[in-house]
């Protein structure tokens, strides 16, 4: 499979994606897989920030994007989330794409893509993911979900370097 082409972001999207990448490094430093997410309103208010905490909690659903959706959905109405952006250090997996869909978040910007991430993960069965793009999940949505990425690939890749064992 060919590698997706990197997207150039504007200053605002770049700044929030870098925040998500910082959360991915935080997750790694805490012994988790290196993923981070930030949800931002259309007015620029940070609504939620999270990292993957699967190792800390033992909860296999504790992915960064899902954790951020869990934080925001009880506090913010679905209409506001329609105009919000979820920034993810990596392309959301199928489960996280589903959470994004159910939350009504209308826009996603991500760092490293799933194809490049699979190179880091290697071929061990427990490190493999469902090879279905978040774009496929979003395309099946009855409401639009804009998806932008990959972006800032080198920066988003840094927390993964040396983490995954093949």
Task: Give catalytic residues, as residue numbers.
Answer: 65
For residue 88 the two structure tokens come to: 């993810």
At 41 the three-state DSSP class reads coil
113 phi and psi angles, rounded to 5 deg: -85, 165
Give CA–CA dist 26/29, Å, rounded.
5
CA distances from 82 to 2, 86, 112 (A): 32, 11, 24
């Amino acid at each position: 499979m060919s590698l997706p082409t990197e997207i150039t972001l504007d200053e605002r999207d770049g700044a929030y994606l870098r925040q998500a990448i910082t959360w991915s490094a935080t997750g790694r430093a805490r012994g988790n897989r290196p993923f981070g997410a930030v949800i931002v309103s259309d007015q620029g208010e940070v609504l939620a920030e999270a990292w993957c905490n699967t190792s800390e909690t033992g909860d296999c659903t504790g992915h960064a994007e899902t954790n951020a959706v869990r934080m925001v959905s009880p506090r913010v109405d679905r209409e506001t989330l329609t105009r919000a952006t979820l920034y993810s250090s990596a392309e959301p997996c199928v489960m996280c794409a589903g959470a994004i869909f159910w939350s009504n978040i209308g826009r996603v910007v991500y760092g490293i893509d799933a194809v490049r991430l699979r190179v880091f993960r290697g071929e061990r069965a427990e490190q493999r993911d469902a090879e279905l793009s978040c774009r496929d999940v979003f395309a099946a949505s009855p409401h639009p979900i804009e998806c932008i990425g990959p972006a800032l690939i080198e920066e988003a890749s840094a927390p993964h370097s040396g983490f995954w064992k093949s």
